[in-house]
A and B are shown apart, each in its own frame.
Chain A
């Protein structure tokens, strides 16, 4: 079996030799043109005049398109048809594309794009959550509210209450490969697009829309992305559309890649949130009721903000059974980049909210936060199946039947030596006035499935050639997460052949249609299953054929080690394929999969939006210099649940990378807009993502030895997004270190930059 083995990434040999091709590496045909956008210089107002004569006169410029040159104006939105390719007359954020330059080189296009002369009637811009609230500027008519029981009464009757407001910053994806697309005009007006996208079908749909042709006239191919993290779920639409329009207008291939500064200024980021909370609890810290008001800053266009904000609500409980809860969510429209999908898709923000509540409760009672967290956990899945306890229900009414965190946290507590280190941290803090240490263990329970239920489907296309080699294709995209290798392991296991027999091929809308984005951690769950269906179909056909020729029954035909065993005979897989071909047996099949058991009403906030939950827990220890706010992670121990892992090495890689990305989000990665709405942190010089030296000095990562209680592909679990949320332990450890400076609660906002840490230290020392 090829599954459950720690094979390297499918393209590792190409990556280490520099021969893996990204969009900008694909040899473009002669005459390829290069595109760049000219950007608005104000955040809100009306474009009154746009003089593009200097742009047109620039050497190398072939064509220029302003807002008046495109009719109808193509739309780039994945949801609400509210994202014109070019802004104007309405200008909605600073950095919005307002004209498009087509030139014979990338540099010529970029230089010319700086020469547009725009005049504006500038209006006051809504840049913050508070400003948008005051102006009632929002998506949807009003806040969405989900309730479980009567939280207000439960809080009023509780012996203790904590309340507060927490700011949680956004996050730039900083995929190392910037957004990129290449359009190749075909005969009869057809278009082929190479796109760095998590969602080839959406690119196909939006390009077809922009060109005014049916989807069958557009084919989109994606071999790989240099990182996605959600930032290539919808943000590649504008580039693909621009390239296709320019390719049609000029009859020449057209390519566009954003330079890093443009990429950061133009594209959406993680939603920043403000979360107000009020919780009532008993002397042991058991929650009686919680009220959350979540404010999400969505930016200028709707994009994916509604499901992102929904997922924040859906994770407001994290691992804790809340007897009563009221969750109110405001989706605020501002004159900033349109916030978009980012690994966790709102879930992490919702979970930071409840982890803050747990931390605050523990501080209020003077108890270890881990003890308080545990007391509020859902009942163990083991206890539920043994009928010792009833399953708890989430605030949206889903029974939590697979809860594993009692066992996982106990194991992690032991392996990380939590109790002794808790005592050692207390001793250190008693002895050291300047350097304070902090320790925190935070759990993760993350719901797996798209909350828009119809997206939970996938297709695959598999061919077996007469020499026994296998062509594998499915709707998922590869962005580094190892999806292609995991799915190829599934295919090789189905046929009992070595991995070298399976050719992984680029995602292609012409092979598998109507795919969902590779998002919501669903890639291997959905596509692995679809591929298995296709492979098993072909395998069963071969088995039936060989059973007939060998006078036996199909169940006596086995595929293993590159051979096919038929009763007492055995032949190579290639001989079996050849024999089936000559008997006129089809060796090509599609596979299709849809996730079962889902039933979700997002308006009512009731039902089962998730097939299952993925779990994890992290213990992080930090040291904080209370004079400067400088800090570092000393040690991190993680235990993460990937079910019966399809590839433990790739899954551990997801966990390590996810943790570091999550810790970066909550500690060093700060996005700053100035009063005019200009993003001031638009390069790695000013936006601090974790570097090699920021990783914890001791970093122990292990996978939980278990299998998914639901029937997923080989009982594995999704692993893309959940580990990011382990990073909350770094924030809570810093809060713990600040708490060592004085009696009041630190009320630390995120990202916990040195400035915010110093402010929190001042508060607790006041």
Chain B
């Protein structure tokens, strides 16, 4: 194989530097292939038109590089944001805080339909916390148990307040049932995780 002309080598070197404009993940997956493709294009351009061919190639490649590197950077930022949101949604502590906040907020409003909705939403957030905890490793059983105790104590205060101010009828029954299911789910997850930890420790 003959040695490539200096201009081709220089062009390839510059292009490799310009690849730094792309996000690291894209560079890792495609940077090598992009550089290889550019080298092939450089050789074609040099064969067809020498320096003029290379200049034409650069004039075509530079806007492509600017546009696509920007697109990939934007996509990488969006992906990062989505991952951040997914992590927050999967975080039981986030659900616990939401549940507590909604529960406290619902107390003064419990006589209105809005208050009832907040109370049910609080219970559902607590249920979401239990579901998120179900997928945590059993080694975190102490943290899960502690959070469950916090939920129980908090609801120990909230439930009488809801009962005192709450309206009787279908809405109240729905709230009671939702609360019961959500609290039992929390308790069940804490027990399952504690048992799972004990069983796994015995196996080891």
A and B are interacting partners: no
Binding site for A on B (CB under 8 A): none
Binding site for B on A (CB under 8 A): none
